[in-house]
Amino acid sequence: MPELRKDPIVGRWVIIATERAKRPVEYARDASQPRPGAFCPFCPGNEDKTPHEVLVYRPSPTARDWALRVVPNKFPVLKIEGDLDRRGEGLYDGMNGVGAHEVIIETPAHDRQFADLDDGAIEMVLSAWRDRIVDLRRDTRFRYVMVFKNHGAAAGATLEHTHSQLIALPIVPIAVAAEMTGAQRYWEFKERCVFCDIVRQELDDGRRVIFENGGFVVAAPYAPKFPFETWILPKTHRAAYEEAHQRELGQLAGALRTALRKLSVALDRPPYNFILHTAPFGQGDSLHYHWHIEIMPTLTKVAGFEWGSGFYINPTPPEDAAKFLRDLSI
Amino acid sequence: MPELRKDPIVGRWVIIATERAKRPVEYARDASQPRPGAFCPFCPGNEDKTPHEVLVYRPSPTARDWALRVVPNKFPVLKIEGDLDRRGEGLYDGMNGVGAHEVIIETPAHDRQFADLDDGAIEMVLSAWRDRIVDLRRDTRFRYVMVFKNHGAAAGATLEHTHSQLIALPIVPIAVAAEMTGAQRYWEFKERCVFCDIVRQELDDGRRVIFENGGFVVAAPYAPKFPFETWILPKTHRAAYEEAHQRELGQLAGALRTALRKLSVALDRPPYNFILHTAPFGQGDSLHYHWHIEIMPTLTKVAGFEWGSGFYINPTPPEDAAKFLRDLSI
């Protein structure tokens, strides 16, 4: 059973995922690179090589083939069965590693990258995230669902076939809690949502805006941790992603595809991560939090200084990155 | 002039280091790998290829050669001249990128790794950190000095010749502030230092202890972010590193060398980062904070989940890592 353990100083939880344990020598040779041409468990015909799907979308109601599948991760970092069993050990705090770890297989086509899907296919992925969050938030053990994508080996992807992942957690992750607290502090001071203020100021200013449609702004943040970091912010205030209307998901598909294609052209198909930032369960109607997506191309190495300080050194001013991406035709 | 910018939600500062700016296409081909056999600006005879030293230790008072040099970084992320000039820009906050960025050239010997130095040479490095912190804290613009080491290309080192770095900052980094706050909260609840309690519990328990001498405990933390993460904790409570006595630095040299040699043997000379965690200036006599060193071998990739959540997945239980390292003879 994996274990959740809390750092006694800063309160950060970690997952000790013993079932993925390696011997020391195994770390020396990293076998996690995707191998082109290798057997792919996500391709049509290999459905029996993954656990049974928890959600499937088909091209038509009577079709036997699928357009998108969501399956439990075969090597989950948390286990869906069991009680939390919170416990102390001297000054330390732990609990069982209970949670859900699912994979969204975004298309049957092995050779399509996410950024190359059409808006309809991307909207289907966005709907799948919503549908899974709505289902998982009924489980009272869970407090948060983290949705993310690792693209490319340097960004942590171990399979080539395009997919995103979600992890349902029995605690609110420390980075999400810090965002909620910061947004609440701003609200207490200003009585406005900080994200709504950011959207307004960025649209007025324009220097960091990359793309805009009816529902969304794609912009470089004022204080990016990484070069070409790109945020996608909904113009409508809503704390929880799963409350977004279908029409908004359609607009988000266009904004996300545009952002990723521009990054792909500008940076020669870089590895990247993106993360859905959304309110914890039970705070979906918060006035101070505002869901959004953050995209981080993997371009620089994170080293001692960043690890120690939480202080990032970024050699690319966001105004330069935004201008470059804004002017790029795709 | 580099610029410091603050994220308006979580309050994290970033350095926009424009003088290291790259064009987008330059990120595609990473030229930051150390090249064996290339010209080394840190070797004896090439002293004129670095800025003039701010500190030098010689084998004897009259010697012309050096045992250790500290020089300003030739490509600093922050600039030593100028005022902070704190300013707002709508809802955003920024200031000038004022700070010190120095390199500790730890030995004249190009081919020696840090872990292969003898205790005397390591103690000299530890003394140099102290002497530079004591000097820099006189500058009223600064609030913190971050001391760290990147070893190996995957851990962010761009030069092979062994060196550590320090960055003096006009703000307290967010990760340090979080540690201070967490330690203070523990103090308010218990009226004891959380680090003193950790030292006591780890020595009683023994399962996570790797090595111990008169002054220091080397242990795997209860909730490590990374496999084989290793902490070095002084047994004597002291908030600020620079207050440590010379005798303690001698004991620390033995503990640090032992920890790094064990990791080097166990993991086949892995890349690693280590970071000195010490109290911000003006809080050196804090009863709740306790300086220490954290060593993180670079074994796993940090991907979307970790970035988004601050939630780390670690496949190696610290009890297993500690047992392996404890039993290893070096």
Per-residue pLDDT reduced to its tens digit, A97-136 = 999 999 999 999 999 999 999 999 999 999 999 999 999 9
Cα angle vertex A112, ends A275, A249, to 5°? 45
Cα angle vertex B59, ends B58, B65, to 5°? 60
CB within 8 Å: A270 and B198: no
Locate A195 and state its tokens. 């994200």
Average pLDDT estimate for B171-197: 95
Question: Which among B5, B205, B275 has the least Cβ separation from residue A307?
Answer: B275
Locate B80 and state its tokens. 């030593």
> How crowded is residue A256: how many other Cβ atoms within 10 Å of its Cβ?
26
What is the distance between the alpha carbons of residues B22 and A227, in angstroms, rounded to a whole number?
9
Closest CA to B211 of B247, B255, B270: B255
User: How much is the pLDDT for B33?
Assistant: 56
Average pLDDT estimate for B49-63: 94
- Distance set, CA A252 to CA A107, A120, A290, B9 (Å): 18, 11, 15, 22
Domain assignment present for B27 = no
> B120 to chain A nearest CA, in Å?
24
Residues 6+ apart with CB under 8 A from B60: none
Q: Is the same domain home to B74 and B58?
A: yes
Q: Is the same domain home to B146 and B188?
A: no
Locate A308 and state its tokens. 């120690």
User: How much is the pLDDT for B31?
Assistant: 47
Q: Is the same domain home to A164 and A184?
A: no
Q: Is the same domain home to B136 and B273?
A: no
> B144 to chain A nearest CA, in Å?
10
User: How much is the pLDDT for A35?
Assistant: 65
The DSSP letter of residue B79 is B
pLDDT digits (tens, 9 = 90+) for B229-253: 999 999 999 999 999 999 999 999 9
- CA closest to B16 among chain A residues: A314
Boundary (domain end) residue, out of B109, B142, B173: B173
What is the distance between the alpha carbons of residues B68 and B108, in angstroms, rounded to a whole number?
7
What is the distance between the alpha carbons of residues B157 and B161, in angstroms, rounded to a whole number?
10
CB within 8 Å: A223 and B274: no
Residues 6+ apart with CB under 8 A from B285: B239, B240
- CA closest to A4 among chain B residues: B223
Is a pLDDT exceeding 80 seen at residue A18?
Answer: no
User: How much is the pLDDT for A34?
Assistant: 59
**Residue A202 half-sphere exposure, CB side, CA atoms within 13 Å?**
29
User: How much is the pLDDT for A155?
Assistant: 82
The DSSP letter of residue B20 is G
Question: Which among B6, B294, B313 has the least Cβ separation from residue A223?
Answer: B6
Is a pLDDT exceeding 50 seen at residue B312?
Answer: yes
CB within 8 Å: A15 and B312: yes
Domain assignment present for A34 = no
- CA closest to B196 among chain A residues: A91
Mutate which of A75, A314, A325, A326 to disrupt the B interface (most B C-beta within 10 Å)? A314
pLDDT band at A330 (very low <50, low <70, confident <90, very high): confident
Q: Is the same domain home to A7 and A144?
A: yes
User: How much is the pLDDT for A169?
Assistant: 94
Backbone angles phi, psi at B251, to 5 degrees: -65, -40
Boundary (domain end) residue, out of A108, A141, A173: A173
Q: Is the same domain home to B134 and B186?
A: no
What is the distance between the alpha carbons of residues B265 and A147, in angstroms, rounded to a whole number?
38
pLDDT digits (tens, 9 = 90+) for B79-94: 999 999 999 999 999 9
> A299 to chain B nearest CA, in Å?
6
CB within 8 Å: A182 and B10: yes
The SS3 call for residue B208 is: coil
Question: Which among B174, B301, B317 has the least Cβ separation from residue A16?
Answer: B317
Residue A218 in contact with residue A202, Cβ under 8 Å? no
The SS3 call for residue A96 is: strand
Question: Which among A15, A173, A227 has the least Cβ separation from residue B314?
Answer: A15
Pure H helices in chain B: 24-28, 119-136, 174-190, 194-205, 246-266, 304-309, 318-327
Locate B253 and state its tokens. 């040299």
> A62 to chain B nearest CA, in Å?
36
Contacts B167 to A, Cβ<8 Å: 305
Size of interface A-B (CB pairs under 8 A): 290
Question: Which among A156, A195, A270 has the least Cβ separation from residue B303?
Answer: A156
Question: Which among A6, A167, A321 has the least Cβ separation from residue B305?
Answer: A167
Which amino acids of B are annotated catalytic?
Answer: 163
CB within 8 Å: B221 and A317: no
Residues 6+ apart with CB under 8 A from B275: A304, A307, A308, B146, B147, B148, B293, B294, B296
CATH assignment of the domain containing A94: 3.30.428.10
- Per-residue b or e along B149-159, where b marks 16 or more CB atoms closer than 10 Å to that residue's CB: bbbbbbbbbee
Residues 6+ apart with CB under 8 A from A83: A96, A98, A141
pLDDT digits (tens, 9 = 90+) for B254-310: 999 999 999 999 999 999 999 999 999 999 889 999 999 999 998 876 665 676 567
Mutate which of A3, A9, A306 to disrupt the B interface (most B C-beta within 10 Å)? A9
Is a pLDDT exceeding 90 seen at residue B113?
Answer: yes
Domain assignment present for A205 = yes
- CA closest to A318 among chain B residues: B16
- At B212, which amino acid appears? E
Mutate which of B6, B13, B14, B147 to disrupt the A interface (most A C-beta within 10 Å)? B14
Where in the sequence is the domain holding B282, given as residue range(s)?
175-327
User: How much is the pLDDT for B259?
Assistant: 98
What is the distance between the alpha carbons of residues B157 and B140, in angstroms, rounded to a whole number?
30
H/E stretch holding B96 reads: strand B92-96
Mutate which of A1, A16, A328 to disrupt the B interface (most B C-beta within 10 Å)? A16
- The CA R_g of chain A, rounded to the nearest whole Å, is 20
Per the residue annotation, which of A151, A163, A288, A292 is the catalytic one?
A163
The DSSP letter of residue B51 is P
CB within 8 Å: A310 and B18: no
Locate B34 and state its tokens. 């150390």
What is the distance between the alpha carbons of residues B299 and B273, in angstroms, rounded to a whole number?
11
Closest CA to B307 of B12, B52, B66: B12
User: Could you give the number of structural domains in chain B?
Assistant: 2
Q: Is the same domain home to B151 and B290?
A: no
Average pLDDT estimate for B210-233: 97
What is the distance between the alpha carbons of residues A146 and A136, in angstroms, rounded to a whole number?
11
Boundary (domain end) residue, out of A149, A173, A197: A173
Average pLDDT estimate for A90-103: 96
Q: How far is CA A323 from the centre of its chain?
A: 25
Q: Is the same domain home to A17 and A144?
A: yes
H/E stretch holding A178 reads: helix A174-190
Mean pLDDT of the residues in chain B:
92
CB within 8 Å: A146 and B13: no
Domain assignment present for B112 = yes
Average pLDDT estimate for A281-294: 94
Is a pLDDT exceeding 50 seen at residue A31?
Answer: no
CB within 8 Å: A175 and B309: yes
Q: Is the same domain home to B124 and B72?
A: yes
Q: Is the same domain home to B188 and B313?
A: yes
What is the distance between the alpha carbons of residues A219 and A207, in angstroms, rounded to a whole number?
9
Q: Is the same domain home to B288 and B251?
A: yes
Q: Which residue do the tokens 């804004």 mark? A: A326
- The CA R_g of chain B, rounded to the nearest whole Å, is 20
